[in-house]
Structure 1
């Protein structure tokens, strides 16, 4: 058993009454009592089996006899069962939510679970063959920080055979969960049928899964380093939580580095990035295509879009409608994200001008006397589609267009109208 804690620490052990956790409890009491300050046990009563009551009563008596504080939590999984949802997944989430609560209440330092080496191999096998290999470790971590405490697994290098031998030698009492024998659950099938079959084949060794996990962890480190280097050198952050990424540079990355980059950026909006690998691959395909503009995904928290030669990630927000302005004197004015400076000489030519958003049918006059639609002008200047309604258009009383944002100004008015984008103009980066 690996000892993570010190003599001044308060340990909390999650006990199921199965052989693994009971052996760990026995060792903590019998062999490691001098290594910690206090030991407390937590037990979750799932209420799904007839034996659950007997197990809870047994553990109460066991802990009382040894003067160990015990807390029991009853789960109500009725709705989960009736809805046909995954009992294992939801019960685990509920267990750890209670564990977090109890660790805060107890002000404890370490939460211990009895996951062992065979559990590790089972987990690696499960994640490989269910495709969950791209963005996290293949196996169970020996320790991890959860808020103010650490979750540790001191048995992770200990085999099931060793645990069984210890139980028999010390006659440690335990309960066997009958559901563990059913191969209807995927993990049980791996544990009871598949891994034993591999072990029985003299040419195969399930222990090599551990080597695969170690190699995979090293690969994740390298991918993370490449992603971090790309973030520092090629990802530009301008306004708060506004990221612009060159499509050309991004497309040159390896697929897993791309995912790591996006996970890092989207992690600024949500604690756990919810975008699947399949969704990412769809994004990558569109980014490498010749599509000019495209919405990749919009959530309540963030928007990801392809805008010409850039991948843009920004906070989700609703643009407020811009109110047209009638200007009758020189000065500095603001229209959305633009600053507009109008000189005195402009009002020698016009008594007033109007600043507004584009309208259907808007056209500018070119230097050769020809006309061009404002929509076409914005496309030529690669103005993102989502920003086109925000671009200020300066017009005369008669409706003649004098300026269109930073894209166009009639020659006569170049020294009379000055327009500046207050944000970071992505078309100039």
Structure 2
């Protein structure tokens, strides 16, 4: 068995890429890499059900000839052949995407559709070890996260199965030698010889120089990619745990987190928590969102000033209010006001999401509560409402009073919660209680009612 076959087989086993009996779709452009991939898994790896997939992106004059070549090869070797004539330019006009992004999305959508239709468990792509080196260098040059710096992953979930890249274990030179040894005559893309593209310049000029310094460059990059990928996978698991810890509430378009809890985690996890929140809120993360936005969010959440806003793409706003951070798609408006009159036992659902349970006599709550207050008959009927200009509450020592506004500031109540926070007043309008925050002095009379704040 050749060294090439041993490398590819060992790599497949190491990453559990395929199992005997799997139906495998292989993306075939007709070039050396993909043709060698198709030949290898159809002729040299037994026990698999191999089918070829070719897509004409309509971007090159020779694309029709490529499609005809791949189809003829598949017919000759009795390999099921799938073909799509794609309209990449049309997608670019509709979405504003670049040519590479539009082509990849059209291609991957077709792969996923075919996997469902054929019942295939695996889709194979012919990227090789030199592609890995090129990708890592390209991403590092442009600025990337740890996930991006890890490069191309050998296996990832895709559709109802997985996408695998068995040739990441071999170099471009080894693939060319395989094609020559097996008598394969692949198609050649002339654009690969142009220095108009950054990736081509890396491939044609930079990587050869690096290989002169280290002939085993691809092995060094493979180890780097695998170790970084493992580190990143662990960090993302920890970030998921941290996200659950810092989350106070969340809806489909709003996320409320505890800044104090977020600060207990190291900066790498803080960054990933922010990424997870953004991925959760955005249906599709905007391409304009960058690492600079993540840094700006973290700066806002740790700044000395207790409040502030940051506006992100597509109207997402990050708001800091003391130790609370809010991610929301539109600036929340103040409550228009509310008033409830209480003169008997009842359960009131408050606009701030809490409950006020009013019970006759002095009782002990039957479940955990946030606060409670006893009132005498002389205070009835009570009014529960949101704050009003000039509201004050008497101090416990009887020496004057304090503005409700100052109580909120003292207790660090977030700005967005102040207009909905309940205020309980007596029949004469005097403030008796700010649930969870402060109580006015009692008049010493027996309790006619117990007010429980959940």
The TM-score with structure 2 as length reference comes to 0.79
Aligned to 1:327: 342
Structure 2 Cα separation of the partners of residues 133 and 326 of structure 1: 56
1:82-107 deviations in whole A, cap 9, x for unaligned?
68741011110110011001110011
The structural deviation recorded for 1:22 is 1.0
Aligned to 1:373: 403
Q: 1:188 aligns with which of 200, 208, 218?
A: 200
Aligned length: 417
Aligned to 1:47: 58
Check conservation: 1:362, 1:374, Cα contact below 8 A. Answer: yes
Which runs of 5 or more residues in structure 1 are unaligned? 423-429
**Please, what is the CA RMSD of the aligned residues?**
3.5
Structure 1 Cα separation of the partners of residues 169 and 416 of structure 2: 54
Aligned to 1:261: 273
Aligned to 1:427: none
1:2-35 deviations in whole A, cap 9, x for unaligned?
3432331111111111111111122233322x23
Check conservation: 2:129, 2:218, Cα contact below 8 A. Answer: no
Structure 2 CA distance for partners of 1:405 and 1:302, relative to 1, 3 Å = farther
Match status 1:111 vs 2:123: yes
1:182-237 deviations in whole A, cap 9, x for unaligned?
222222222122212333457995653334324423442553465467568xx255
The structural deviation recorded for 1:160 is 0.6
Structure 2 CA distance for partners of 1:417 and 1:122, relative to 1, 3 Å = farther
Range 361-370 or range 38-47, more displaced: 361-370
Structure 2 CA distance for partners of 1:271 and 1:330, relative to 1, 3 Å = closer
Counterparts of residues 253-402 of structure 1 (less than 5 Å): 253-264=265-276, 269=281, 276-295=290-309, 305-311=319-325, 323-336=338-351, 337-341=354-358, 348-350=377-379, 352-367=381-396, 368-402=398-432
Structure 2 CA distance for partners of 1:121 and 1:419, relative to 1, 3 Å = farther
Check conservation: 2:317, 2:327, Cα contact below 8 A. Answer: yes
1:286-331 deviations in whole A, cap 9, x for unaligned?
3332122334568999975434235467898968756322233344
Q: 1:410 aligns with which of 428, 434, 440?
A: 440
The structural deviation recorded for 1:350 is 4.7
1:322-368 deviations in whole A, cap 9, x for unaligned?
63222333444332323152657957425533221112222223344
Structure 2 Cα separation of the partners of residues 338 and 12 of structure 1: 57
Structure 1 Cα separation of the partners of residues 349 and 39 of structure 2: 73
Instruction: State the SS of the aligned residue for 1:355.
Output: strand
Q: 1:56 aligns with which of 67, 87, 97?
A: 67
Instruction: State the SS of the aligned residue for 1:155.
Output: helix
Structure 1 Cα separation of the partners of residues 21 and 219 of structure 2: 36
Structure 1 Cα separation of the partners of residues 450 and 310 of structure 2: 35
Structure 2 Cα separation of the partners of residues 317 and 102 of structure 1: 43
Aligned to 2:142: 130
Structure 2 Cα separation of the partners of residues 203 and 110 of structure 1: 32
The TM-score with structure 1 as length reference comes to 0.84
Check conservation: 1:358, 1:391, Cα contact below 8 A. Answer: yes
Structure 2 CA distance for partners of 1:42 and 1:221, relative to 1, 3 Å = closer
Range 257-266 or range 403-412, more displaced: 257-266
Structure 2 CA distance for partners of 1:253 and 1:135, relative to 1, 3 Å = farther
The structural deviation recorded for 1:416 is 6.0
Check conservation: 2:88, 2:106, Cα contact below 8 A. Answer: no
Structure 2 Cα separation of the partners of residues 55 and 204 of structure 1: 33
Range 177-186 or range 196-205, more displaced: 196-205
Structure 2 Cα separation of the partners of residues 299 and 407 of structure 1: 37
Range 357-366 or range 296-305, more displaced: 296-305
